[in-house]
């Protein structure tokens, strides 16, 4: 049924004929459909899924323990026995990198959640309340942002010592301002829309307004920030471990493995190459996914 | 006369960095029960602000709005929400932006009922919402559709169903058809007229479209820069226009008839700023008949004929001769 | 060779995405003579803007496709031209005015420079000369030439639209396509702009396609009128013919659904149903679903063009039937 048939139409008709029943179009499904159409975003998602699987099944994948030292095989180049080579203590770098995925992903998740529930929540409150509350919160965030992240992390480590909670705290404080600002913008945009006014006119109260209208409509944008932030936290964590204010050895964290290898950069470059590649791939995958989500949730921003 | 709404000297000023913006300035209006008052004016004349102030979406700077004799503009917002919110409802301009995109049709229509009738059970809410959908002509199969799947006309029907589901007796219609195509516009206008007849509703119809306002209104108030400058029965304004601005507004409308070649009165310049206006006739700068008095003194709205008032110093000059 | 400036023949434009094919323009043909103003009327989604973009060669990449047809400007088919040649045609020979003056102007450039830019792009002249011509253009559209150094945000909406018109007319194009030039403006400002456009059009002898949904604007501005529905021209003729003796049921319905200023109507006549979805067009007459005068034929085949008289045709089975009876 059309005025003029074209090859493009036939293609679509053929595909539609294969589908069993028409799917109901909800806003969430529309977003998924847009995400699905984006090959780079799907690639990002696939890599992230593989990384998660690697983290979960690390003991099954890794041929050696991450702490097992083998003094008969120190500083060996990549081979069939040691895919990524070994370090100066004879530890298998491949196994360390695989176990490292666990640390990196879990800590990144914690950091992001922590930042979201501190900075993000403050941003939502600032955006919703406006006025003096808004000014107060945002100026405090500005002060936070003016402290260099590394310096703050070093102070925290100096006082509290190395460790995961300290690392999470440092990253959380450093990223609170950005998180607050992003979430405030998301809420402000929703708050200014006509449907909020129209709900106000039919007598919806404040609490319901936030739960039923503001959060569902802002959540898409917030997910975008959340995913994007995972990449940022992995970067922060690795760089902090690399300069020695993050986690303590012998944890197989990617930044730490890099740190181990830096003395042998000229003689054994593979010691730095593989962990650096993992960091890069992970951040790249999260960023691809984040961009895909942005297009999916917010086609206007494109 | 039985007035449902009486607006007395209503003012709504917004403070901006450049000064006080007089969005609504000293507006006095009476709205008869069961009738439609049309508010016409160009963008920026304060017509939407007037509607939203009546709805208490804005708080009035000063003045009164009497609803059945009670002042609803001055009472605490809590009391207003509790006792009067469902009596006064609004249909919004943009049916695309005024519906939450994450709710489906049934949820959207249910929302006002659920919020205002806590005593209703879930099935009762759904039943009432379905009744409302039928009333405004939304097919039951659309229940689980989302606004983005529907065209402008149907979305506006959802807006109407939401407003009506609280059984209001006064509805502010803020440009309800200006975003719609003409063929759909006619459907919505007919629907509003039918609903008014059936339920004895009182409308305040805000629009910039003269032909629409003439069609649907009983009385018309023309606004310019926050003030009502002419007020009369709808039929009067198209025959015996008094205020020069109303005349210009009418003559500017392109008429879809090739045989009427009318004398057009093209205004010079554009709307002057509503921020801290001078104490003079606000139309003086663009008025082709302006004289010194117009630039020095602010005219008041005065009744020139029974039911017909205008705010112009020289209004008598413009009353067409030979009419009673 | 006739005096036609523009010849559009059998034009078909589709928008193709992974999800669906939108049949935006379906086999339309029309022509414009020198100095003529054609009004293109229709509702949202009727394909008016797509037609304009097709003529301009500005269809969105990858999505918009010209399936068949030709657009001839002074005898040359525009679809045969390369992207570079088209850039020379646009601005110089055909100009377009868009609905929203806000998006058409560069906010960080003085308006005088923006007009001069177009002149420099197409005509050989010095920068000073171009600026001088720009000031002349400003004066022509009713803006004090001294304001050429001002930025767009310093102008009001109506003034911005005047500047957009000045840019469009700067190189004295043969054809001006105005896409809803006054829809975003207030009526009193609309009256100013229309007045100005009409006098400029007469002075420069420019041909014009005026796209609008407002029949009143067409009555005031145009010589010919083409009514579009679901990507098709359903009726075409001189404004007098189409307004006084509308033939197509859609055109008739369109008139009756507008509230009139001079007549009192208790209830408006309504076109039933919704605007036909251009991604789900039937193979018969697109308007059949909403038509109050349809017959069996309407649901079985696509109507052809029937000439009412020399300058008036309609695309409807009904009319032919009526004529044969006589």
Give the model's pLDDT for residue A284. 94
Give the model's pLDDT for residue C39. 94
For the cut 70, the answer to whether the pLDDT of residue B1 exceeds it is no
Give the model's pLDDT for residue A300. 58
Cβ(B157)–Cβ(B165) under 8 Å?
no
* Closest chain B residue to the Cα of C191, Cα to Cα: B252
Q: What is the mean pLDDT of residues B240-266?
A: 82
Chains that touch C (3 or more CB pairs under 8 A): A, B
Beta strand C312-315 pairing with C232-238: antiparallel
Give the whole-angstrom CA distance, residue C218 versus residue A108: 63
- Burial of residue A154 (CB within 10 Å: 0-12, 13-18, 19+) is middle
Q: Minimum mean pLDDT among A101-110, A187-196, C1-10, C203-212: which range?
A: C1-10
The residue among B199, B244, B221 whose CA lies nearest residue B89 is B199
Check CB contact under 8 Å for A4 and C21.
no
For the cut 80, the answer to whether the pLDDT of residue B127 exceeds it is yes
Task: Read off the tokens for A182.
Answer: 């992003």
Check CB contact under 8 Å for B186 and C190.
no
- Nearest CA distance, C237 vs chain A (angstrom): 24
Q: What is the mean pLDDT of residues C222-248?
A: 92
Per CATH, the number for B3-87+168-318 is 3.40.50.300
Name which of C18, C23, C65 is nearest A3 (Cβ-Cβ).
C23
DSSP state of A209: I
Structural domain that includes position A130: 107-270
Name which of C43, C189, C243 is nearest B182 (Cβ-Cβ).
C43
Residue A286 host element (H or E) = helix A270-297
Q: At what angle do helices C157-169 and C187-204 cross, to 10 degrees?
A: 10
Give the whole-angstrom CA distance, residue C222 versus residue C41: 11
For the cut 90, the answer to whether the pLDDT of residue C188 exceeds it is no
Check CB contact under 8 Å for B211 and C159.
no
> Does some domain include residue A160?
yes
Helices (H) and strands (E) in chain B, counts: 11, 12
Check CB contact under 8 Å for C21 and A1.
no
Q: At what angle do helices B244-252 and C187-204 cross, to 10 degrees?
A: 50
Distance of CA B137 to CAs B191, B195, B205, Å?
9, 11, 21
Check CB contact under 8 Å for C191 and B252.
yes
Per domain, the residue ranges of chain C are 4-93+174-272, 106-172
Question: Mapping DSSP to helix (H, G, I), strand (E, B) and coil, where does residue C291 land?
Answer: coil
Spell out the alpha helix ranges (H) of A116-214: 121-129, 131-145, 149-160, 164-191, 194-201, 206-208
Give the model's pLDDT for residue B262. 65
- Nearest CA distance, C56 vs chain B (angstrom): 26
**Measured between beta carbons, which residues in chain A are less than 8 angstroms from residue C27?**
3-4
Q: What is the mean pLDDT of residues B191-207?
A: 94
Q: What is the mean pLDDT of residues A248-260?
A: 85
Q: What is the mean pLDDT of residues A273-277?
A: 90
Q: What is the mean pLDDT of residues C91-110?
A: 86
Answer whether the bond into residue A250 is a cis peptide, omega within 30°: yes
Disruptive mutation site among C12, C21, C231, C301 for chain A (greatest number of A CBs within 10 Å) = C21
Query: Which CATH number do you get for residue A197?
Result: 1.10.3720.10
For the cut 60, the answer to whether the pLDDT of residue B3 exceeds it is yes
Name which of C27, C65, C281 is nearest A2 (Cβ-Cβ).
C281
Q: What is the mean pLDDT of residues C278-297?
A: 85
Q: How many CA atoms lie within 13 A of A78 on its CB side?
A: 10
Name which of B93, B112, B144 is nearest A202 (Cβ-Cβ).
B112
Give the model's pLDDT for residue C278. 84
For the cut 90, the answer to whether the pLDDT of residue C2 exceeds it is no
Per domain, the residue ranges of chain B are 3-87+168-318, 97-167
Q: Is C208 left (phi over 0), alpha (psi -120 to 50) or beta?
A: beta
In degrees rounded to 5, what are phi and psi of residue C79? -70, -15
Q: Does C192 or C1 have the greater pLDDT score?
A: C192
**ipTM for the complex shown:** 0.84
Q: What is the mean pLDDT of residues A150-167?
A: 82
Give the model's pLDDT for residue C19. 76
A with B: how many residue pairs have Cβ under 8 Å apart? 69
The partner residues of C32 in beta bridges, in order of sequence, read: C6
Give the model's pLDDT for residue B324. 44
Confidence grade of residue C71 (pLDDT, cut at 50, 70, 90): very high
- Number of domains making up chain A: 1
In terms of CATH architecture, what is C4-93+174-272?
A: 3-Layer(aba) Sandwich (3.40)
Cβ(B172)–Cβ(B91) under 8 Å?
yes
> Does some domain include residue A298?
no
The residue among C282, C325, C281 whose CA lies nearest residue C301 is C282
Give the model's pLDDT for residue A171. 87
* Closest chain C residue to the Cα of A3, Cα to Cα: C283
- Nearest CA distance, C110 vs chain A (angstrom): 27
Which residues, including other chains, have CB under 8 Å from residue B79's CB and lie 6 or more apart?
none
Give the model's pLDDT for residue B323. 47
Q: At what angle do helices B105-116 and B152-164 cross, to 10 degrees?
A: 20
Check CB contact under 8 Å for C274 and B184.
yes
Output the CA torsion C84→C87→C92→C95 (10° steps).
150
**Measured between beta carbons, which residues in chain C are less than 8 angstroms from residue A30?**
none
Question: Mapping DSSP to helix (H, G, I), strand (E, B) and coil, where does residue C308 land?
Answer: strand
Confidence grade of residue C281 (pLDDT, cut at 50, 70, 90): confident
Check CB contact under 8 Å for B181 and C260.
no
For the cut 60, the answer to whether the pLDDT of residue A99 exceeds it is yes
Question: Mapping DSSP to helix (H, G, I), strand (E, B) and coil, where does residue C258 land?
Answer: coil
For the cut 70, the answer to whether the pLDDT of residue C320 exceeds it is no
Question: What would the pLDDT profile of C147-162 be if each residue is shown by its tens digit?
Answer: 889 998 888 888 888 8
Task: Give the highest mean pLDDT range of A174-178, A238-242, B229-233.
Answer: B229-233
Give the model's pLDDT for residue C116. 92
B with C: how many residue pairs have Cβ under 8 Å apart? 121
Task: Give the highest mean pLDDT range of A203-212, B89-98, B155-164, B258-267.
Answer: B155-164
Q: How much is the mean pLDDT over chain C?
A: 87
**Measured between beta carbons, which residues in chain C are less than 8 angstroms from residue B216?**
259
- The alpha carbon dihedral of A196, A199, A203, A209 has a sign of negative
Q: How much is the mean pLDDT over chain B?
A: 88
* Closest chain C residue to the Cα of A37, Cα to Cα: C18
Check CB contact under 8 Å for A194 and B97.
yes
Q: pTM for the full model? A: 0.85
> Does some domain include residue A233?
yes
Check CB contact under 8 Å for B102 and A208.
no
Question: What would the pLDDT profile of C107-150 be if each residue is shown by its tens digit?
Answer: 899 999 999 999 998 888 899 999 999 999 898 888 888 888 99
**Measured between beta carbons, which residues in chain B are less than 8 angstroms from residue C270?**
183, 186-187, 190
Q: Where do we find the tokens 């902090």?
A: A240
Q: What is the mean pLDDT of residues C64-87?
A: 90
The alpha carbons of chain A give a radius of gyration, in whole angstroms, of 24
Question: For the residues of B97-165, what is the DSSP string, one character each?
Answer: TSS-TTS-HHHHHHHHHHHH-TTS-HHHHHHHHHHHHHHTT--GGGTT--GGGS-HHHHHHHHHHHHHT
Confidence grade of residue A301 (pLDDT, cut at 50, 70, 90): very low
Give the model's pLDDT for residue C36. 92
For the cut 90, the answer to whether the pLDDT of residue B205 exceeds it is yes
Q: Minimum mean pLDDT among A142-151, B277-286, C315-324: which range?
A: C315-324
Give the whole-angstrom CA distance, residue B290 versus residue A14: 71
> Does some domain include residue A1?
no
Give the model's pLDDT for residue A21. 63
* Strand stretches in chain B, DSSP E: 3-16, 19-32, 36-40, 62-67, 70-71, 88-91, 170-174, 202-207, 219-224, 227-233, 302-305, 308-310
Task: Read off the tokens for A97.
Answer: 């990198």
Buried b (16+ CB within 10 A) or exposed e, B90-112: bbbbbbbbbbbebbbbbbbbbbb
Q: What is the mean pLDDT of residues C193-220?
A: 90
Give the whole-angstrom CA distance, residue C281 versus residue C291: 15
């Amino acid at each position: 049924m059309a005025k003029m048939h074209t090859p493009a139409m036939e293609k679509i008709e053929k595909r539609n004929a294969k589908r069993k029943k028409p799917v109901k179009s909800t806003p969430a499904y529309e977003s998924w459909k847009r995400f699905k159409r984006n090959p780079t975003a799907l690639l990002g998602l696939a890599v992230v899924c593989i990384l998660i699987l690697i983290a979960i099944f690390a003991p099954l994948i890794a041929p050696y323990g991450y702490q097992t030292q083998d003094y008969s095989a120190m500083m060996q180049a990549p081979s069939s026995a040691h895919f990524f080579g070994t370090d100066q203590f004879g530890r298998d770098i491949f196994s360390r990198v695989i176990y490292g995925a666990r640390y990196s992903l879990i800590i990144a998740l914690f950091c992001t959640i922590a930042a979201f529930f501190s900075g993000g929540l403050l941003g939502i409150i600032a955006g919703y309340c406006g006025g003096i509350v808004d000014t107060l919160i945002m100026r405090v965030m500005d002060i936070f942002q003016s402290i260099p992240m590394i310096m703050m992390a070093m102070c925290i480590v100096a006082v509290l010592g190395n460790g995961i909670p300290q690392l999470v705290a440092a990253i959380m404080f450093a990223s609170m301002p950005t998180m607050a600002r992003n979430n405030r913008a998301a809420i402000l945009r929703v708050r200014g829309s006509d449907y909020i006014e129209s709900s106000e006119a039919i007598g919806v109260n404040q609490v319901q307004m936030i739960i039923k209208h503001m959060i569902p409509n802002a959540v898409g944008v917030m997910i975008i920030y959340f995913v994007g932030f995972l990449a940022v936290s992995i970067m922060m964590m690795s760089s902090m471990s690399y300069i020695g204010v993050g986690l303590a050895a012998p944890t197989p964290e990617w930044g730490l493995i890099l740190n181990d290898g830096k003395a042998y950069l000229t003689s054994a470059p593979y010691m730095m190459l593989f962990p650096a590649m993992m960091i890069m791939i992970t951040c790249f995958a999260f960023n691809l996914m984040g961009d895909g989500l942005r297009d999916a949730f917010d086609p206007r921003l494109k | 006369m039985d007035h449902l709404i009486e607006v007395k000297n209503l003012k709504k000023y917004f403070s901006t960095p450049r000064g006080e913006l007089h969005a609504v300035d000293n507006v006095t209006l009476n709205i008869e029960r069961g009738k439609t008052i049309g508010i016409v004016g160009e963008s920026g004349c304060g017509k939407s602000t007037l509607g939203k102030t009546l709805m208490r979406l804005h708080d009035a700077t000063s003045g009164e709005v009497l609803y059945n004799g009670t002042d609803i503009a001055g009472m605490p917002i809590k009391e207003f929400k509790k006792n009067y919110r469902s009596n006064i409802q609004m249909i919004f301009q943009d049916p695309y932006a005024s519906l939450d995109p994450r709710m489906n049709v049934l949820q959207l229509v249910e929302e006002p009922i659920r919020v205002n009738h806590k005593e209703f059970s879930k099935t009762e809410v759904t039943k009432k919402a379905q009744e409302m959908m039928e009333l405004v002509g939304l097919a039951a199969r659309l229940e689980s559709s989302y606004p983005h799947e529907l065209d402008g006309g149907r979305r506006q029907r959802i807006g109407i169903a939401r407003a009506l589901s609280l059984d209001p007796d006064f509805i502010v219609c803020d440009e309800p058809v200006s975003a719609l195509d003409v063929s759909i516009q006619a459907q919505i206008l007919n629907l509003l007229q039918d609903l008014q007849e059936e339920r004895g509703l009182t409308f305040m119809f805000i629009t910039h479209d003269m032909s629409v306002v003439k069609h649907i209104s009983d009385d018309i108030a023309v606004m310019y820069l926050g003030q009502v400058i002419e007020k009369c029965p709808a039929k009067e304004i198209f025959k015996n226009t008094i205020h020069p601005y109303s005349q210009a507004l009418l003559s500017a409308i392109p008429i879809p008839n090739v045989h009427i070649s009318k004398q057009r009165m093209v205004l010079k310049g554009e709307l002057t700023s509503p921020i801290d206006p001078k104490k003079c006739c606000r139309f003086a700068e663009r008025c082709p008949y302006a004289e010194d008095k117009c630039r020095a003194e602010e005219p008041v709205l005065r009744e020139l004929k029974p039911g017909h008032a205008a705010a112009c110093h020289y209004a008598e000059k413009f009353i067409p001769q030979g009419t009673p | 060779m006739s005096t036609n400036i523009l010849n559009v023949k059998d034009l078909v434009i589709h928008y193709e995405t992974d999800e669906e094919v939108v049949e935006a323009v379906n086999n339309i043909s029309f022509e414009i003579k020198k100095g003529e103003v054609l009004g293109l009327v229709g509702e949202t989604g009727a394909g008016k803007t797509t037609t304009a973009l097709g003529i301009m060669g500005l269809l969105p990449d990858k999505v918009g496709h010209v399936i068949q047809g030709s657009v001839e400007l002074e005898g040359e088919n525009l679809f045969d031209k390369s992207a570079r040649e088209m850039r020379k045609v646009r601005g110089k020979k055909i100009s377009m005015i868009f609905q929203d003056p806000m998006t058409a102007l560069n906010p960080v450039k003085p308006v005088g420079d923006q007009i001069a830019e177009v002149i420099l792009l197409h005509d050989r002249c010095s920068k000073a000369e171009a600026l001088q011509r720009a000031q002349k253009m400003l004066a022509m559209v009713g803006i004090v030439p001294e304001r050429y150094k001002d930025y767009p945000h310093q102008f009001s909406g109506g003034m911005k639209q005047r500047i957009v018109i000045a840019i469009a007319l700067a190189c004295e194009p043969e054809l001006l396509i105005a896409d809803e030039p006054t829809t975003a403006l207030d009526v009193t400002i609309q009256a100013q702009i229309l007045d100005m456009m009409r006098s400029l059009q007469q002075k420069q002898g420019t041909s014009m396609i005026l796209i609008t949904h407002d029949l009143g604007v067409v009555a005031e501005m145009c010589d010919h009128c083409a009514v579009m529905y679901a990507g098709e021209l359903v009726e075409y003729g001189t404004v007098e013919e189409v307004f006084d003796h509308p033939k197509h049921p859609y055109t008739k319905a369109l008139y009756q659904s507008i509230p009139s200023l001079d007549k009192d109507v208790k209830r408006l006549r309504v076109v039933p149903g919704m605007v036909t979805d251009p991604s789900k067009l039937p193979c018969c007459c697109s308007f059949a679903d909403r038509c109050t005068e349809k017959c069996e034929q309407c649901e079985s085949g696509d109507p052809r063009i029937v000439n009412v008289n020399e300058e008036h045709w309609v695309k409807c089975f009904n009319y032919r039937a009526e004529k044969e009876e006589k």
